[in-house]
Amino acid sequence: MARISSSQYLWLGLLVLALILHFSPGPLGAFVTYPTEWVVSVTDQMNVAMRWFVDAFGPVFKAIGWLLEWPVFAAQKILAFLPWSVTCFIFMALSYLASGWRLALFALAAMLYMAGIGYWAESMNSLAIVLISVPMAIAVGFGLGVFGFYSKRARRIIMPLLDLLQTIPAFAYLLPILILFGFGTTVGLVASVLFAFPPTVRNTILGLRAVSAEIIEAGEISGANARQLFWKVRFPAAKSQILLGVNQTTMAALSMVIIASIIGGTNDIGWEVLSTMRKAQFGESLLAGFVIALMAMLLDRITHAFATRDRAISSDEKALKSWHLVLAIAGAVWLLSLVVPALAEWPENLVFDPAPAMNTGLENFILNWRLVLEAIKNSAFFFVMLPVKIGLIQAVSPFTWGFALTPVLSFAYAAALVVIAGFALVRARAAMGVTVLLIGATLYIGLTTMPWAVVLAAFVLLSYQTAGARLAIGTALGLGFLVIIGLWPQSALSIYLCGVGVFICFVLGSGIGIWAAHSQTVSTIVRPVIDTLQTMPLFVILIPFVMIFKIGEFTALLAIIAYAIVPAIRYTEHGLRNLPPDIIESATTLGATPAQLLFKVKLPLALPAIMLGLNQTIIYGISMLVITALVGTNGLGQRIYIGLGDGDFGVGMTAGIGMAIIAMIADRITQSVSLRKQQALGLKTEML
């Protein structure tokens, strides 16, 4: 018989409470569904406040927006003016200098695709915003990073701010910016600067701090003054790390520029994807999405290569000389394009447009495979999503499953759960028994119909057990806020969809990760796929799933899985591959079978890394969840989307903050579990 610990009693108590509230709430009904008359709506107040703010400061922002528009216009004009061949050459040269011939060839292919598919102008319009926003984000990020490095007090303010900026969903950014600056390219620019600068801050601080004390001392003893110590010692020694931040900043900027096109009115490539997707022209949408993917990969590879390239092959003077050469050749190409018009403007008749063919092909495919696709979709819906969402008790009906839950069946279900849990208890697995009961009850009641008081209490309890009283209080306040302002139903839906997605990602992703850790072949196949998925702007991932499964929650779930599975795989593989070799060796000598080795040695040791992977999976899942509002999910994402559509600051912003609250709670819980395990095992695991 296993002993049940006091915390497990707490969980069992919660379970009993849930069952009581669910079956006979009596006067406690207010704890099941929060009464609408108790809701303290803050949206109106927020709107009033915002309106006041806009009235008071609107002109200032408009003026700033007007100023910011100029460089973007200039960049767009220049890129539109340059013959495609010149731009193409410059990118090839950049790629070559950063990494070598292979990247240069990739750049050529990507540029040819953009021109050849007929999206050159749109691509360049998006690129122009990125080219302006990245330097601005880097300047802001580097400045704040240096400030934060030198001042502990500044760091204490900057760090939580970065956390907030990085957990607030991308869509929610757009809303206040839209209201303050009004329609125009400025929205995309400002949003992408705000969204993109945090990684530069983080990496700047990280890099500057990592410079070894000896290097600093060597600089001092060589007689460096304060300025020299920074610019000639600290900064160059931290440069690789800072450039990695620049790489992340670039990717975030691009991703935000694409997302920002949702406000419309811009003739850029993100808008192309969205508008064609709305018109169900999936062929066009996919082709345009591919442009974004290529642009993302190209920018990623170039900036990444600059950050990590070998110092030996890149001395400053050589670089300077090669730049002169690049400019000279670019000039020559330009002159040539004056003579050969095809080099200036991609010829109409060479535009390759497979979209109509793709659309027909797709239609045929969907037509021919309709039954299979429907079957997949429906079974996933009925057997996975519905039971958890509504609870078996309502979901299992003749209408959906062909039979209803009679009292006898319900009783049998309950009895089976109790038997399994009891068996686990007898086999000294108290935790497992309690878990079985909890999951069983959740399935039965359904997550969204679960009394809010129970869900809140469960999260508070979890926070307390994993991270202590402070997080528990934070969780109670955060979720309590969502309940009081009346966002609980949407929050529960979001938690549900994201939770299911994360669970599947975690199971599937760890499985693939384990496999990849043991097989080089799998690893070499998986690596580029997940790399690509990770650099892909969120939008693009949606496209193939919408194409095949149309809009709906199932599509959203697939998109979430496709995106959020990346960290689950990556961290599991990384964790398993970087275990202390002596421990593995000693376990092997002790005669552990491969299975024992995996389950009794490797996985427990890799747990901190896997938990960090879970953490990232959740964060990825949540950021994708917001985007899936585009394909018709309900929940907080949808509210943000509505707020954005109506220009309703209160609605959009509260939902955005709600998302951020959920993300932060999930982040802190998983982080602290990982940290505890790391300390217990005496290991150190970094974020990848």
Partner 1 sequence: MPGTDPTPLEVKLSCRHIWKVYGTHPDRFFSNKSGRLPDGVDPLNHAQEIRDSNHIVAGANVSFDVHVGEIFVIMGLSGSGKSTIVRCLSRLVEPTAGEVLLDGQNLLDINKRELIEFRRHKMGMVFQNFGLMPHLNVLDNVAFPLELQGIDVKERRRRAQEIIDLVGLEGREASFPSQLSGGQQQRVGIARSLAVKPELWFLDEPFSALDPLIRKQMQDEFLRLQRELHKSIVFITHDFMEALRIADRMAIMRDGEVVQIGRPVDLILNPVDDYVREFTNDVPWELVLTAGDIADPAHKFAKGMGHISADTSVATLLPYLADHEAGVVVRDGDGNDMGVVNARRVIEALASGVQNPAQVGM
Query: What residue ranges bind partner 1 (CB under 8 A)?
Result: 212, 214-215, 217-225, 228, 232-233, 236-237, 239, 311-312, 315
Nearest residue (CB) to partner 1, 33 versus 225: 225
Closest approach, Cβ 221 to partner 1, in A, equals 4
Min dist CB 228 to partner 1, Å, is: 5
Q: Find the radius of gyration of the CA atoms of the chain.
A: 27
* Rounded least distance, CB 501 to partner 1, Å: 42
Write out the H or E segment, with its range, that includes residue 361.
Answer: helix 355-368
Q: For 135, left (φ over 0), alpha (ψ -120 to 50), or beta?
A: alpha
Question: Could you give the CA distance from residue 499 to residue 618 in angstroms, rounded to a whole number?
Answer: 8
What is the smallest separation between the CB atom of 47 and partner 1, expressed in angstroms? 50
Nearer to partner 1, 239 or 527 (CB): 239
- Residue closer to partner 1, measured from CB, 312 or 367: 312
Interacting residues of 483 by C-beta distance below 8 A, sequence separation 6+: 34, 452, 456
CA 638, CA 634: separation in Å to the nearest integer? 5
The type of residue at 95 is S
Indicate the residue among 59 and 236 with the shorter CB distance to partner 1.
236
Nearer to partner 1, 233 or 540 (CB): 233
CB 687 to partner 1: min, Å? 22
Contact 560, 388 (CB under 8 A): no
Query: Considering beta carbons, is residue 1 or 226 the nearer one to partner 1?
Result: 226
Q: Which of 129, 137, 133, 127 has the alpha carbon at shortest distance from 200?
A: 137
Q: At what angle do helices 120-150 and 235-260 cross, to 10 degrees?
A: 140
Cβ closer to partner 1: 105 or 218? 218
Whichever of 27 and 223 has its CB closer to partner 1, that residue is 223
d(CA 163, CA 585): 40
Q: Least distance in Å: CB of 306 to partner 1? A: 14
User: 258: which residues sit within 8 A by CB, 6+ positions away?
Assistant: 126, 269, 270, 273, 292, 537, 539
> How far apart are the C-alpha atoms of 97 and 322, rounded to whole Å?
8
Least Å distance between CB 310 and partner 1? 8
For the CB of residue 218, give the shortest distance to partner 1 in the complex, in Å. 4
For residue 636, give every residue at least 6 positions away whose Cβ sits within 8 Å of its Cβ, in sequence order, or none.
Answer: 487, 490, 491, 493, 494, 625, 626, 655, 656, 658, 659, 662
Locate 284 and state its tokens: 């066009």
Q: Is 5 left (phi over 0), alpha (psi -120 to 50) or beta?
A: beta
Shortest distance in whole angstroms from residue 350 CB to partner 1: 46
Looking at beta carbons only, is 152 or 311 nearer to partner 1? Answer: 311
